[in-house]
Structure 1
Amino acid sequence: MENQEALKDLHQTGIFMKENDLVWGTAGNISVRTDDTHFYVSASGTYVGDMGIEDFTLCSFDGSVQGKKPSKEHIMHKGIYEERPDIGAILHASPFYSTMAACSNIELPSSYFVEAMYYLERIERLPYYHPGSKELAQAVKEKASAANVLLLENHGIIVYDTNLKEAKMALQTLEYAARMHITAISGNIPMKNLSAAQEESFLKESGYKPVRNWS
Structure 2
Amino acid sequence: MVKLLLILNFIAMPIYELPKLPYELDALEPQISKETMEYHYLKHHQAYVTNLNNLIEGTKYEKMPLEEIIKNSDGPLFNNAAQTWNHTNFFLALSANPKARPDGELAKAIERDFGSFDKCKEEMTKAAQGLFGSGWAWLAADSEGKLSVMPMSNGQNPMIKNLTPLLCIDVWEHAYYIDYRNRRPDYITALWDKIDWAVIEKRYSDR
Q: In proportion to residue count, which structure has more helix?
A: 2
Q: TM-score, normalised by structure 2?
A: 0.33
Q: In proportion to residue count, which structure has more strand?
A: 1
Q: TM-score, normalised by structure 1?
A: 0.32
